[in-house]
């Protein structure tokens, strides 16, 4: 359904690839969809295609292109180790510049969502980037690194109560520092949206997606308006 396009980062002028899923009918707005540590995988492309079917033009940038163009990993331990390595080698200032390039390409009415590492990147976009209307961040473990920054747009967060990588005390810290940010906790583990993972929880995934679409629709994502 989609195609590969190129974006020019606002951070350093680097040209990175991105998966672009256009809409077939009236456009509600645009969504920047941020990958997990595994890159722009089949799962990420399927999510992008799904949002496109809902009327949102989607761009999913390949944030690790500077390290390995076209990086796309499975869920093996070796792949996880490489994904973690690439995520820690990708500074947040650079991520913000790459995000801004995708946001500008989708304007107007742009929303940001992301998963795992991408959940923290979605939070970053809400805090630092311009042209964002709302954001929805899924199980963003590294939001704790950015917790002193405050979203400038409506933002919702999704966590799994049984996520061993994100202790509930970290979630409570976010709640305490940002009482105006809705934090939804599901009876699920990490990665509960992905049907490729052991923690996949279809009920939690469906509810979190509905909440995401609701906050987007409430903040400018109306079909045929853009």
Q: Tell whether 79 is covered by a domain.
A: yes
Dihedrals φ, ψ of 17, to 5°? -80, 160
Query: Which residues span the domain enclosing 109?
Result: 3-217
**Parallel/antiparallel/unpaired status of strands 3-8 and 15-21:** antiparallel
Q: How confident is the model at residue 24 (pLDDT cuts 50, 70, 90)?
A: confident
User: Is the model's pTM score more than 0.85?
Assistant: yes
Q: Tell whether 82 is covered by a domain.
A: yes
Q: Where are the beta strands (DSSP E) in the chain?
A: 3-8, 15-21, 29-34, 56-61, 110-115, 132-138, 155-160, 183-186
How many other C-beta atoms lie within 10 A of the C-beta of residue 147? 15
Q: Tell whether 224 is covered by a domain.
A: no
The CATH number assigned to the domain holding 209 equals: 3.40.50.1820
Q: Tell whether 222 is covered by a domain.
A: no
Listed in sequence order, the residues at least 6 apart from 24 whose beta carbon sits closer than 8 Å to its beta carbon are 52, 53
Residues 128-141, mean pLDDT to the nearest whole number: 98
Q: Tell whether 27 is covered by a domain.
A: yes
- Predicted confidence at residue 161, as pLDDT, reads 98
Q: How confident is the model at residue 223 (pLDDT cuts 50, 70, 90)?
A: low
Q: Tell whether 226 is covered by a domain.
A: no
Count of domains for the chain? 1
Q: Tell whether 35 is covered by a domain.
A: yes
Residues 159-175, mean pLDDT to the nearest whole number: 97
Q: Tell whether 30 is covered by a domain.
A: yes
């Amino acid at each position: 359904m989609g195609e590969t396009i190129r974006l020019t980062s606002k951070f350093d002028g680097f040209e990175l690839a991105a998966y672009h899923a256009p809409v077939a009918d009236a456009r509600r707005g645009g969504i920047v969809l941020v990958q997990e540590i595994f890159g722009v995988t089949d799962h990420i492309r399927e999510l992008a295609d799904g949002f496109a079917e809902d009327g949102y033009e989607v761009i999913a940038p390949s944030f690790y292109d500077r390290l390995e163009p076209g990086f796309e990993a499975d869920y093996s331990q070796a792949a996880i180790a490489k994904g973690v390595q690439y995520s820690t080698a990708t500074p947040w200032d650079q991520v913000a510049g790459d995000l801004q390039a995708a946001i500008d390409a989708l304007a107007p009415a742009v929303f940001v969502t992301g998963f795992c590492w991408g959940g923290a990147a979605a939070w970053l976009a809400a805090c630092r980037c311009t042209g964002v209307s709302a954001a929805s961040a899924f199980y963003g473990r590294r939001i704790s690194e950015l917790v002193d920054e405050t979203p400038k747009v409506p933002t919702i967060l999704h966590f799994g109560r049984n996520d061993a990588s994100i202790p509930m005390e970290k979630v409570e810290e976010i709640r305490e520092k940002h009482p105006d940010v809705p934090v939804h906790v599901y009876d699920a583990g990490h990665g509960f949206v992905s049907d490729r993972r052991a923690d996949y929880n279809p009920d939690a995934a469906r509810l979190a997606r509905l909440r995401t679409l609701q906050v987007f629709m409430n903040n400018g994502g109306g079909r045929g308006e853009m």
